[in-house]
Amino acid sequence: MAKPHKHASLRLQATTELSDSDIAQLARTAAETASVKMPQWSSVRLEKAEPGLLVFSVRGPGGVAEQLVFELAATFRGEGTKLRSRIVRYKTSQASVLGLIPVAPKQMLGLAAHRKWLSNFADGLRRADPMAHIEISGPPAGTGGTWF
């Protein structure tokens, strides 16, 4: 099995008092505004919606090629709703010479759109519920640690 990409652990954890329908609407809105034009022309699309689970994909040009899949899971409790996002699967690319010799580190396809979704969703959640506790962890730009 291949070693996971350094950004594979990028995730969001949050606790909020918002209802499940409000959370779902914020997640959909974040997806609609998470398109990235350059360098990968990626867009985020809702693939599956079930009670307590939303699954999104980051798609390449034309919306055909799947680059990355992530999910937002919600656990409803008396003290609030606990949210967790995680990357489910992803594709990578790597520049090489003659197709054999790598000349740059592997790049996770769709990462820019996923980061934009995380930021958009966290901002929307913070506006809708100022008391929400939000933590995004994993390397945001090649470094480790929390960046919110």
- Rounded to two decimals, the pTM is 0.85
Cis peptide, bond prior to residue 105, ω within 30 of zero: no
Ordered domains of the chain (ranges, CATH): 11-137 (3.30.310.80)
Q: Give mean pLDDT, residues 117-133.
A: 96
Coil vs helix vs strand at 125: helix
Q: Give mean pLDDT, residues 59-71.
A: 90
Distance CA 122, CA 148 (A): 9
Q: Give mean pLDDT, residues 87-92.
A: 91
Residue among 55, 67, 78, 75 nearest 5 (CA) = 67
Q: Are 124 and 26 in contact (CB under 8 A)?
A: yes
Helix (H) or strand (E) segment spanning residue 118: helix 111-128
pLDDT bin (cut points 50, 70, 90) of residue 40 is low
